[in-house]
Structure 1
Amino acid sequence: MRFVLLAAFLVCGLVACQQATWESTMAAAQHAVQQGNYAEAERLLLVAVRKAEEFGLHDRRVAVSLSQLAQVYAGQGKHVEAEPVYLQALKIYQEVHGEDHPDVAATLNNLGVLHRMYGQYAEADPLLTRALLIKERLLGPEHPDVALGVANLAQLRVAQGQPERAEPLYRRALNIREKTLGPSHPEVAKTLDDLANVLKKLGRREEAVSLEVRARELRAARS
């Protein structure tokens, strides 16, 4: 009995040690990202992936590590490297959580943004739309994460040359952010500028200028 308890203690100690090592590696990678040292962050995250795999190839920690690695790839403009890593993380998240989960929505959103950045609008559209639908189901129609999803879809519409479809999306994102973040939040000012840009494309310059003035006033009030 004493041997069994000792063995169990050693196993638990090993798992705790592995967890601490994985966490410390992830923390170091995040610090490298904050310092703008993407090469070091990439190296550390590759180590973190290997450490996470010690818990099992389909453990959520593997997906977390992969997601961070994909973001670092994307931040360096490595689209070819980032996409399959995001897809691998997405597969694990779906296996662990099912289809309706914040991790799944976030990864779909990141994949959609990645495709948009590289002009792959047909691929980006269903990903961003699906991510938004999941967020709405989980969080309700008025939540900051929903506003982010709406704004990302609006940005895609602008990139597609469809400002008339982007306008109602930006207005919805603005309304949510004003309600949930407060009228003076930086994201409100950013959304005002984005909406103003759309209005200019639609030939409504006077409306656009008034929004830009409001955005500048918000920023000045916070400085």
Structure 2
Amino acid sequence: MQRRLLQHAARCSHLALNSLVVDDGLADEYHNLGILYSVQGKLVEAEQMYQRALQGYEKAWGLEHTSTLDTINNLGLLYKKQGKLVEAEQMYQRALQGYEKAIGPDNITTYVPSLKTILNLGLLFERQADLAKARTMFSEALHGYEQVFGPDHAKSENLRDYLYDLDVGVENEASIQIEERADHLQVGSSHFGIKKPPSISKRHSCFCDGLNPIFGCTTT
């Protein structure tokens, strides 16, 4: 079954790359192929499919249609996978600005796709060690998930716990840095049993791995 699906995907990909006209129906196929190739780690092919989907959505629906913006968000995810963090941020910001225009700035925290983009921006900022911006994005996403799903929903609780862990990690890292400087100056201080927190990259990896099915960090 999987082999047949992959063969079908390959045929669709060939037709897509050789098609001169992209309509909204084909755009859906390209978008789904982009997701499939991204999951398989075929990032070059995934980008080709997303770009064709984007072309079709822009032509059929315009620059600020939610289908267009969903594909832009997915391009951001793809660029992050490729380590192109500047391009990833550009895509996320473009998607978020588009959502604000499409559904209104007061509604972006109650619309799940835009919430995912906000969360993805937070993860990107954390990966870049810009924790102030990351915390702002996570807090905004948490506010939205609490509105949409309720404060006691697993989605809200997971994000709240992650935000707490991030804050504790930052505080502990700051404490360790102070103590290390004190040790370097030989002032006789000790570490008082403070446990070193997970690194930023480890927290980021754990969050994506643990919450992927909920928040769609890599495939939506």
Taking structure 1 as the reference length, the TM-score comes to 0.67
Partner of 1:89: 53
For the aligned residues, what is the CA RMSD? 2.6
- 1:49 to partner: Cα distance: 6.0
Alignment counterpart, residue 9 of structure 2, candidates 45, 48, 52: 45
Partner of 2:133: 165
Letter in 2 for 1:58: V
Instruction: Write out aligned runs for 1:17-32 (5 A).
Output: none
The structure showing larger relative contact order (alpha-carbon pairs under 8 Å, at least 6 residues apart) is 2
- Kept after mapping to 2: 8 A contact 1:166/1:198: no
Partner of 2:163: 195
- 1:108 to partner: Cα distance: 0.4
Q: Measured at CA, do residues 162 and 136 of structure 1 come closer, stay the same or move farther in structure 2, by a change above 3 Å?
A: same
Taking structure 2 as the reference length, the TM-score comes to 0.68
| d(CA) in 1 for partners of 2:33, 2:6 | 6
Instruction: Write out aligned runs for 1:6-21 (5 A).
Output: none
- 1:109-159, Cα deviation, whole Å (9 max, x unpaired): 000011112221011011001111111222323322221111011011011
Alignment counterpart, residue 153 of structure 2, candidates 179, 182, 185: 185
| d(CA) in 2 for partners of 1:133, 1:122 | 17
| d(CA) in 2 for partners of 1:66, 1:40 | 18
| d(CA) in 2 for partners of 1:49, 1:196 | 43
- 1:161 to partner: Cα distance: 1.4
| Percent identity over paired residues | 26
- Is 1:156 aligned with 2:120? no
- Kept after mapping to 1: 8 A contact 2:70/2:113: no
Structure number with the higher helix fraction is: 1
For structure 2, list consecutive stretches of 5 or more residues without a partner in the other structure: 174-196, 198-220
Other structure's SS at 2:171 match: coil
Other structure's SS at 1:141 match: coil
Instruction: Write out aligned runs for 1:51-200 (5 A).
Output: 57-139=21-103, 140-143=107-110, 144-200=112-168
- 1:168 to partner: Cα distance: 1.1
Q: Measured at CA, do residues 46 and 184 of structure 1 come closer, stay the same or move farther in structure 2, by a change above 3 Å?
A: farther
For structure 1, list consecutive stretches of 5 or more residues without a partner in the other structure: 1-31, 209-223
Count of aligned positions: 169
